[in-house]
Amino acid sequence: MQLTVWTYEGPPHVGAMRIAASMRGLHYVLHAPQGDTYADLLFTMIERRDTRPPVTYTTFKAQDLGADTAEIFKIACRDAVERFQPEAIIVGASCTAELIQDDPAGLAAALALPIPVIPLELPSYSKKENWGAAETFYRLVRTFAAAAQPKTVRSMRPAGERSCNLLGPTSLGFRHRDDIVEVRKLVEGLGVAVNLVAPLGASPSDLARLPEADFNVVLYPEIASTAADWLKRNHGQPFVSIPPIGVGATAEFLTAVAELAGVPPPAAAPTNLRMPWYSRSIDSTYLTGKRVFIFGDATHAVAAARIAADELGFVVCGLGTYSREFARDVRAAAAHHGVEPLISDDHLAVEDAIIAAQPELILGTQMERHVAKRLRIPCAVISAPVHVQDFPARYSPQMGHEGANVLFDSWVHPLMMGLEEHLLGMFRDDFEFNDTVAPSHLGHSTAPAGVAPDESTLVVLDRPVAWSGDAEKELRKIPFFVRGKARRNTERFAAERGLHTITIETLYDAKAHYSR
């Protein structure tokens, strides 16, 4: 059993639902108890969808458990096919239906429906949302893009005439809507045609056209890498799996796509790419060495770490993911940045790691936004799960050149603006502009109620040494966002030297010792 108030991913059937809701002409019949229809709200409220998701739930109740839940499932299947006239249906069970073992696959097969039925096996007690989405997409691709028998050897079109598929974008994905616009621009800019985007916007019969492309572009490995692997094995389609998030990653992505397309990579960066100059301009100097803690799905976390270190000049002080399936990538990135990887879906462990790392900026999910607010650390959201504010009306991709511009703005914005940060370091007792209030460009004049006004919440509770009154006072003169780090360093310094009391001297000795 795992105690939780927050889960980074929903159950796997929510992943399947995301695939169904992404596509056209596909319906999902889900064997589930009454109440599981809450998932519709994710689509109608968070994503602000204007139609009901194409999901029929059996919503069985206790009195149905006696005998006829299987019959309820069969009726729901038949009714859904008749009413919605889909090209195909997927059928499966939610966690409770998995326990009663009605076998949706067998029941649906027995109905002899006039359309393809794809049964899903999604183990709810061991797998999660992204796995469910990847598995569902893979099953659909297998079904509708079946390989020719016997297998034919694939030959690519001539260089310069090749096309690709964009795989991975889904409903409820973090900025998927705008990412595909941006990536399409990148790919077509190389003279490569986009054969199909899937699953978002595709129908089952569209999936049959997947093999017509010369290669695949995997935008979100959490969703599409299983399907891309299968397409490679069965249709000989190579794939690029470099999510183009950040300036460097976008350049590598373009090089890799150009190579598969047999065309030269672009010669120069486009004029709309402003992020590199913004980051080099002198107002960004104070960003150098800001310590940033990064957590999210593996794709966004690894991409963010690279941007933070190489493109914004931050120092990565923590890196982790909840995507166990991609833990290896995150471990490699963590080793590169010299930090311990955090592979966990326990939000309390993530909070502990943030407290221990003492970051000046957190890049995370909706949950890290909550943690950051409590700890009063600036934060930007880089990954699902997210709430309604991260499905904005405006164009806001993360990928490609415009995506890099968006990232610069949204990550730098939460930080204290440069001049204000300097003045706070000089004059500590201003009645309006002091370190118990949020940065003034964020418009809040006082600290939110119930939030501790200093760094004490940021510090490990087990303090080995005592602070003298003078030293404690001196510590308060250090700017808020680095004070926690200073406190911890000084305590470590004192403990290592067997000191029992920290004086002003100790504080400055430690500062000199750890100075970077």
Report the interface residues with another protein, using CB under 8 A.
Answer: 1-7, 9-11, 13-14, 33-42, 44-46, 48-52, 56-62, 64-65, 72, 76, 79, 83, 94-96, 99-100, 123-126, 128, 367, 369-370, 373-374, 387
Helix, coil or strand: residue 318? strand
- Which residue has 């059993």 as its token pair? 1
Nearer to another protein among residue 38 and residue 431 (C-beta): 38
Instruction: Say if residue 160 carries a ligand binding annotation.
Output: no
Alpha helices in 364-515 (DSSP H): 366-375, 400-412, 418-426, 469-475, 480-496, 504-514
Nearer to another protein among residue 39 and residue 317 (C-beta): 39
Instruction: Say if residue 418 carries a ligand binding annotation.
Output: yes
Alpha-carbon separation of residue 352 from 167, 200, 346, 375, 450 (angstroms):
36, 37, 10, 11, 20
Q: How far apart are CA 375 and CA 356, in angstroms?
A: 12
Cα 143–Cα 192–Cα 210 angle in degrees, nearest 5: 5
Q: How far apart are CA 313 and CA 277, in angstroms?
A: 13
Nearer to another protein among residue 184 and residue 374 (C-beta): 374
Nearer to another protein among residue 11 and residue 169 (C-beta): 11
Nearer to another protein among residue 348 and residue 419 (C-beta): 348
Q: How far apart are CA 495 and CA 489, in angstroms?
A: 10
The distance of closest approach from Cβ of residue 190 to another protein in the complex, given in angstroms and rounded to an integer, is 38
Q: How far apart are CA 55 and CA 465, in angstroms?
A: 59
The distance of closest approach from Cβ of residue 36 to another protein in the complex, given in angstroms and rounded to an integer, is 6
Q: How far apart are CA 140 and CA 24, in angstroms?
A: 13
* Phi and psi angles of residue 121, each rounded to the nearest 5 degrees, phi first: -110, 100
The residues that are catalytic are: 283
Q: How far apart are CA 136 and CA 120, in angstroms?
A: 7
Nearest alpha-carbon partner for 143 in 31, 234, 30: 234
Nearer to another protein among residue 127 and residue 487 (C-beta): 127
Strand stretches in 322-390, DSSP E: 341-343, 361-364, 379-381
* Phi and psi angles of residue 278, each rounded to the nearest 5 degrees, phi first: -55, -40
Contact 249, 310 (CB under 8 A): no
The distance of closest approach from Cβ of residue 122 to another protein in the complex, given in angstroms and rounded to an integer, is 12
The distance of closest approach from Cβ of residue 364 to another protein in the complex, given in angstroms and rounded to an integer, is 13
Which residues have a Cβ under 8 Å from the Cβ of 387 and sit 6 or more positions away? 46, 366
The distance of closest approach from Cβ of residue 495 to another protein in the complex, given in angstroms and rounded to an integer, is 26
Nearer to another protein among residue 56 and residue 241 (C-beta): 56
The distance of closest approach from Cβ of residue 73 to another protein in the complex, given in angstroms and rounded to an integer, is 12
The distance of closest approach from Cβ of residue 133 to another protein in the complex, given in angstroms and rounded to an integer, is 14
Regarding beta strands 88-93 and 315-321, do their DSSP bridges make them parallel or antiparallel, or are they unpaired? unpaired
* Phi and psi angles of residue 70, each rounded to the nearest 5 degrees, phi first: -65, -40
- The token duo for 230 is 């299968």
Nearer to another protein among residue 96 and residue 143 (C-beta): 96
The distance of closest approach from Cβ of residue 13 to another protein in the complex, given in angstroms and rounded to an integer, is 8
DSSP assignment of 264-282:
PPPSS--TT--HHHHHHSG
First CA to last CA distance, the chain: 44
Residue 501's Cβ-side half-sphere holds a number of Cα atoms within 13 Å equal to 6
Q: What count of other Cβ atoms lies within 10 Å of the Cβ of residue 272?
A: 12
Nearer to another protein among residue 42 and residue 507 (C-beta): 42
The distance of closest approach from Cβ of residue 350 to another protein in the complex, given in angstroms and rounded to an integer, is 14
* Phi and psi angles of residue 89, each rounded to the nearest 5 degrees, phi first: -125, 150
Q: How far apart are CA 166 and CA 11, in angstroms?
A: 26
Q: How far apart are CA 413 and CA 193, in angstroms?
A: 36
Residue positions in the annotated binding site for [4Fe-4S] cluster? 36
Residue positions in the annotated binding site for substrate? 418-419
Residue positions in the annotated binding site? 36, 418-419
